[in-house]
Amino acid sequence: MSFGRMSSRTRSDAPINSINVTPLVDVMLVLVVIFILAAPMLAASLRVQLPKAQAATPQTQVAQGDMLMLEVSPQGEIWLQGAARDDAAVQQQLQSLGQRNPQAEVQLRADTSVPYGRVVQIMGWAHAAGLTRIGFVTDPLPQAPAR
């Protein structure tokens, strides 16, 4: 009974001239898994054009339980922690955060085209929930080139 190359002793010294695709397939499968896991994170982000301010500073790290990120899209939609929510859900989240920790910070990222009334409305909800620490997230002004 012969099994492939084992039966022929004369050709065993010849090099194997085929490509081993197993490592290539392994790498491709790992990349597919990475893209599958990363795609929802990329799709769930909201692009807002933040206002620019001269005194803007980089955000400091705040404990996740002590901070609530609210983003307001140009259309006035509110995104809470990366997901679009209706007004009632946002008010409920603010109420529960205010009851848990009245010193928690609300970080408000509003697009420059959002009407001022919408921003004031959200601030009113936070104040009614007992939250007084509201941070307005801005982008720094571009630095002028040195002369």
77-94 pLDDT, tens per residue? 898 877 889 999 999 999
Q: How many other CB atoms sit within 10 Å of the CB of residue 10?
A: 6
Task: Name which residue leads in pLDDT, 57 or 84.
Answer: 84
Angle, CA of 48, 52 and 56, to the nearest 5°: 110
pLDDT for position 50 = 64
pLDDT for position 40 = 72
Of residues 68, 53, 50, the one with CA closest to residue 111? 50
pLDDT for position 11 = 55
CB-based contact 119:108 (threshold 8 Å)? yes
Task: Name which residue leads in pLDDT, 119 or 42.
Answer: 119
| Chain-centroid distance, C-alpha 132 | 25
